[in-house]
Amino acid sequence: MYVAAHTFLVLEWNLISRAEYLVDANIDLVSFTEDALLFNMGVTKTDQEGVKNVDHPWHVYSCPEHPEICAHLAVARLILANPEILNGQTKLFDARSQYERFNGLLRKIVSSEEHRDDFASLGISPEDFGTHSIRKGAATHVATGSTACPPIACICLQANWAMPGVMNRYIKYENAGDQFVCKCVSGRSRNNTMFAASSSYWDFLAEDAETGESQKAKLKVWLKDRLPEEAKDNERVYAVHKMAVAAIAFRRNYLDNHLHPESTLRSSTIWNDDVPYHDKVVVKYPWNETADTPKITGLPPDIVLLAKLQTMKMEMDALKADLQASFESTLTRQLDEREVGGSGFARGNEILGKLDTLLETVTNASRAAARASAQEPAAEEPVEFDGDSGFVSDDGEEEDAAAADSCRAARTAAPSASAAAVASAAAAACCGGAGGEGATFSSFFLRPPKRCWKSPGWILSRLYSGLRWMHCSLGQ
């Protein structure tokens, strides 16, 4: 009962119509095109024969910002909770005395303790409310709710108000004016880009063409299987049904949290089925629309300009991020190439790199020695540790000390000599002249030992000696 009452209220507001029209409304008068529901008015107070507006459908738009007053979602709830409506044999609000029922519920709500004080604070008595209050409120909202409202002539045409001597003689219905009025009355924010939102729909553009077409065909079969038999070949009813399922899928989380636990919608087939590709149901805007996005209608020039500005803003944000990343990368590379910070800065980076290589080499050698020792144990002299100092005892320590002394002597004798020359002399001394002019740190540090490579003591001793060599060669 409350699903029908809510839909009655939302539609009467969006159509700025008399309640009597909705009482007699039939699904055959409803269709869905582009991004709007279309209602054909039929018989009205000023058109008893129902011919004046025969080709003038009234547009009804969604309101993505506020699902509680979204007309598409309200119609979707009504249709899916009462699927027999789709067979065309019943009215949208099929029951006796629908007008009296809705009017009674409206008065009950505005007179309740929960809301009575709110209206009283505005100086309005709940007894003053009726179904016609909705029509008055909708027209007032459209005509004075913004500093950029639709023309009054368009509002009068929408509300079926006469302008003697002018209306229907000099000023006639046109889609653009009706679309603008109906988009304003839907509850969208008139002064921001949300006004340009599309209705909810399935967007398959992310898939390749073949997959997208296959998914569309599968969705169509699924939707038609859930239509009444009488409506399976009715494309107008199918379009309304598809809109309704998309609206429910898009607002599923909202409905889960706000629907009454005993709502008839919770027992419907669509609600309890897994809607195909529900994750592809989206709402788009002019700046991110795709080829699958339905045409967004009813936009005034200022909103079109706002949408273009939003597009430019997004492009500029993306460009800013790209430029910042590119600048940082280029600046870092150029500073490194020019050794900005002094040669010592660049040399320090080089030394750190060599230390990393040294540590990796020692680690690999230690692991290799451990594996070889485990596979083929070899007798060797136990490695002795000095209990006081913690240094590894090694037979080659005296040679290393002599090499270090030679290095210091070379530095003292030729203070202007380069670190590379001193390092070469130190390496030659450590290697006993075996390396000749080509002696390097690696030949010094990794020279063939007197003992087996498998000895961890030798590895630690070489590491200690290597650090002493580097200390000497850098003249620290």
Separation of alpha carbons 444 and 427, rounded Å: 5
CB contact at 8 A, 243 and 199: yes
Residues 399-408 have a mean pLDDT of 52
pLDDT of residue 319 exceeding 50: yes
pLDDT of residue 144 exceeding 70: yes
Q: Are residues 348 and 469 part of one domain?
A: yes
pLDDT of residue 400 exceeding 80: no
Q: Are residues 367 and 241 part of one domain?
A: no
Q: Are residues 269 and 368 part of one domain?
A: no
Residues 6+ apart with CB under 8 A from 414: 421, 422
Residues 113-124 have a mean pLDDT of 83
The per-residue pLDDT for range 260-301, each reduced to its tens digit, is 888 888 888 889 888 999 999 999 999 999 999 999 999 999
Note whether residue 333 is domain-resident.
no
Q: What is the DSSP letter of 21?
A: H
Domain residues for 264?
A: 2-299
Q: Are residues 275 and 350 part of one domain?
A: no
Residues 322-348 have a mean pLDDT of 74
428 exposed, middle or buried (CB, 10 Å; 0-12, 13-18, 19+)? Answer: buried
Q: Are residues 176 and 97 part of one domain?
A: yes
Separation of alpha carbons 138 and 12, rounded Å: 9
The per-residue pLDDT for range 213-255, each reduced to its tens digit, is 999 999 999 999 988 888 888 888 999 999 999 999 999 999 9
Separation of alpha carbons 59 and 86, rounded Å: 20
Note whether residue 201 is domain-resident.
yes
Note whether residue 184 is domain-resident.
yes
Note whether residue 270 is domain-resident.
yes
pLDDT of the residue at 195: 93
Buried b (16+ CB within 10 A) or exposed e, 292-321: bbbebbbbbeebeebbeebeeeeeeeeeee
Q: Are residues 255 and 140 part of one domain?
A: yes
pLDDT of the residue at 248: 95
pLDDT of the residue at 463: 62
CB contact at 8 A, 39 and 97: no
Separation of alpha carbons 127 and 18, rounded Å: 19
**Mean pLDDT for the chain overall:** 78
Residue after which a domain boundary falls, among 245, 268, 299: 299
Q: Are residues 210 and 128 part of one domain?
A: yes
Would you place residue 420 in the very low, low, confident or very high pLDDT band (cuts 50, 70, 90)?
very low
Note whether residue 315 is domain-resident.
no
pLDDT of residue 455 exceeding 60: no
For the ranges 51-60, 84-93, 207-216, which has the lowest average pLDDT? 51-60
Q: Are residues 284 and 188 part of one domain?
A: yes
Residue after which a domain boundary falls, among 236, 264, 299: 299
Note whether residue 137 is domain-resident.
yes
Would you place residue 91 in the very low, low, confident or very high pLDDT band (cuts 50, 70, 90)?
confident
Residue after which a domain boundary falls, among 265, 299, 333: 299
Note whether residue 84 is domain-resident.
yes
Residue 309 amino acid letter:
L
Helix (H) / strand (E) containing 209: helix 209-225
Q: Are residues 350 and 295 part of one domain?
A: no
Q: Are residues 367 and 250 part of one domain?
A: no
pLDDT of the residue at 157: 85
- Structural domain count of the chain: 2
pLDDT of the residue at 129: 82
Note whether residue 141 is domain-resident.
yes
The per-residue pLDDT for range 28-41, each reduced to its tens digit, is 888 999 999 998 87
Residues 321-345 have a mean pLDDT of 75
Q: Are residues 33 and 176 part of one domain?
A: yes
Q: Are residues 156 and 215 part of one domain?
A: yes
Domain of 213, CATH number, reads: 1.10.443
Would you place residue 72 in the very low, low, confident or very high pLDDT band (cuts 50, 70, 90)?
very high
